[in-house]
Structure 1
């Protein structure tokens, strides 16, 4: 019997992907305290994330709504933490040893293959952000982190599509940062 790929939404941008004995979390989040000054309290409760041995994680970028340091450190104790190569040094500085990947570089995590692809946030900052393509059991999932529309979508679709499931930001910019403003018509 072929194992089934299962996907479950977690809090905020978090996603859990399972295939057989392989459990992968992308941008898991428990600690919302750093977000309160920028976005206020969450609209829904944020549940604790179960992290049994062998849980692995991928990080799209190091903003506190996608990177929960304490949770990632807990996962790193028994699993791997994947990141885009430019983010690796910052993780090393805080005691996390990541598996760094360049854009387009594939890696196996148990029964899954993970590949970082281009991402671009609302400020035009793409140097440290990625979307993740996850493949397994004949299925493809893309988790886009904070990306907005950019010119690399066509290449991502040609290289890695079609996708069975796509997790994309849909709410638009709701935060206010000094020196940045969302374009509001």
Structure 2
């Protein structure tokens, strides 16, 4: 399996001569009033990527990009959707084959298995994490989940996870602009929680996602960390990690 880090939480998997996009987003402009400007130049991938499968953890527009589905999904490609999100997806997407899965239900095709599993969204919307495996590599993608009490169970029920892609920015959001009351509690895993979650998942390596690109002094305030913090939490949890920069490929 070849894994490329895309923007923010997005990754591209290439295996069995098939391409899979997870939380692949190119256009963040709609959320600019609350996320702010991107700190780095965004990766443009939709002109040269044709995906056989597209999955996403939830419908927030920094994880779900309708234009990517329209441009990147092959004519015979499949959109694989967690069942709780199906009604919302069908409001936005037409003329696409959709495979609908309940939590912990699997879909296997071309020797690739997809499975949505439990997640908890930071502001109460519906969300799942995803497990994708190809017989030699198994990845866990956590979208922007917050800490929850199912990591123990997920680790027991899903053995041999090689890479856990988990959010690490521990962001505090102030979305009063869209009618949500302010809370100082983080709306995604922070770096310490991500290391702990990866450890409970028994993942060989944590790959941090969902950090560094966006910050807004009033609406979107991420927790800051550096290499020392990564090394410290890795040592404390005995959990290895791998930093994958946007655009970088892991084989």
Alignment CA distance shift 1:171-1:53 (3 Å): closer
Residue equivalent to 1:120: 120
Name the stretch that deviates more: 15-24 or 44-53. Answer: 44-53
Q: Distance in 2 between matches of 1:53 and 1:76?
A: 6
For the pair shown, the structure with the greater C-alpha radius of gyration is 2
Number of residue pairs aligned between Structure 1 and Structure 2 = 178
**Counterpart mapping for 1:46-85 below 5 A:** 46-50=42-46, 52-78=49-75, 79-85=77-83
Listed one character per residue, the Cα deviations across residues 94-137 of structure 1 (whole Å, up to 9, x for unaligned) are: 233432210001012423111000001223x26x2000001113
Q: Distance in 2 between matches of 1:40 and 1:54?
A: 29
Residue equivalent to 2:129: 131
Which is bigger in relative contact order (C-alpha 8 A, separation at least 6)?
2
Q: Does 1:107 align with 2:107?
A: yes
Listed one character per residue, the Cα deviations across residues 58-92 of structure 1 (whole Å, up to 9, x for unaligned) are: 01000011001111222345221111111111111
Q: Does 1:156 align with 2:154?
A: yes
Residue equivalent to 1:182: 184
Alignment CA distance shift 1:77-1:24 (3 Å): closer
Contact 2:50 2:73 in 1 (8 A): no
Which residue of 20, 23, 35 maps to 1:27?
23
**Counterpart mapping for 1:141-152 below 5 A:** 141-152=139-150
After TM superposition, the score normalised by the length of structure 1 is: 0.88
Q: Distance in 1 between matches of 2:152 and 2:173?
A: 29
